[in-house]
Amino acid sequence: NGFAVVRPPGHHAEESTAMGFCFFNSVAITAKYLRDQLNISKILIVDLDVHHGNGTQQAFYADPSILYISLHRYDEGNFFPGSGAPNEVGTGLGEGYNINIAWTGGLNPPMGDIEYLEAF
């Protein structure tokens, strides 16, 4: 068992595209290493950021060995990067292993303790 808090996560970087000031997706690279090289069969990634981690979601969208949960501002797709809708739940064997808790309504009032506690 293990736990890591990673900053910066690089969660906007996609497989072949730098995005949102992220050049490498540290979380995705590490999770793939743990899965492929160390044979870790179950990995949980919880992404707490005002922006959706589009790169991390893309990396594991069809992967049932990695559960990705993102809590972020969404505003019906009008907040950067525009992805992370609640109905984006994964595909194929990965369906159900991608969870987006996507808030809408701006930051007045801001998302706070109550919203995060309700999410879990």
The model's pTM: 0.92
Q: pLDDT tens-digit profile of 65-107?
A: 999 999 999 999 999 999 999 999 999 999 999 999 999 877 6
**Active-site annotation holds for 72:** no
In terms of phi and psi (left: phi > 0; alpha: psi -120 to 50; beta: otherwise), the region of 21 is left
Tell whether the model's pLDDT for residue 109 goes beyond 80: no
Copy the structure tokens of residue 78: 């009008």
Catalytic residue among 12, 51, 52, 72: 12
Which stretches of the chain are assigned E, i.e. beta strand?
43-48, 66-73, 98-103
Domain boundaries, the chain: 26-119
Q: Which of 3-7, 49-53, 80-84, 87-91 has the lowest mean pLDDT?
A: 3-7
SS3 17: strand
Mean pLDDT computed over every residue of the chain: 93
